[in-house]
Amino acid sequence: MTGEKTLKTSWIKIRVTPQEKLLLVQKAALQGMSLTDFIRVRTLNYRQRQHPLSKEYLFQLARIGANLNQLAKWANTYKSKTEALEVVLALADFEKELHALHRQEE
C-alpha cells in the first residue's frame, strides 16, 4: 500500500457474536477510531491516524520534559541539599503522574 489514493469499493462481511462486536466497538472507541478504521489498522498494519487527544497528550508530555530539564539544570546550578531534595521530590511526583497517565492510555 503506497501513498496513492485508492477508492475503497470492495466489501468484507464477517459474523461475530454480540459480545465480540461490543468489544470491537469499545476498543475502537478507546483509540478514538471508527470500527472500520480500527479493524483496518489492526489487520493490515496501517499507520494509525493520530487522534486529537494523542496530539494534546504528546504536547503536554513535551512541556513536562522541558520543565524537567529546567529543574535538572537548576538543581545542578544550586546544589543546596534542602533545595535539591525538594527538586527530587517534585521529580518523583512528576514520575508518578506520568505513570498514571500512561496507565489511563492503555
Measured CA to CA, the distance from residue 91 to residue 106 in angstroms comes to 23
- b vs e for 59-88, b when ≥16 Cβ sit within 10 Å of the residue's Cβ? eeeeeeeeebeebeeebeeeeeeeeeeebe
Q: What integer pLDDT is reported at residue 2 of this predicted model?
A: 53
**CA–CA separation, 14 vs 21, rounded Å?**
11
pTM above 0.75, yes or no: no
Residue 19 has pLDDT above 90, yes or no: yes
> 81 versus 70: which is more confidently predicted?
70
Q: Are 34 and 28 in contact (CB under 8 A)?
A: yes
- Counting every residue written for the chain, the total comes to 106
Say whether 5 sits in a helix, a strand or coil.
Answer: coil
Residue 25 has what pLDDT? Answer: 92
- Res 48 pLDDT > 70: no
Residue bearing the bigger pLDDT, 14 or 82: 14
18: pLDDT strictly greater than 80: yes
The model's confidence at residue 52, banded by pLDDT at 50, 70 and 90, is low
Give the residue-averaged pLDDT of 8-32.
90
The total of other beta-carbon atoms located within 10 Å of residue 100's CB is 9
Q: What is the mean pLDDT of residues 15-36?
A: 90
Rounded CA-CA distance 8/39 in Å is 14
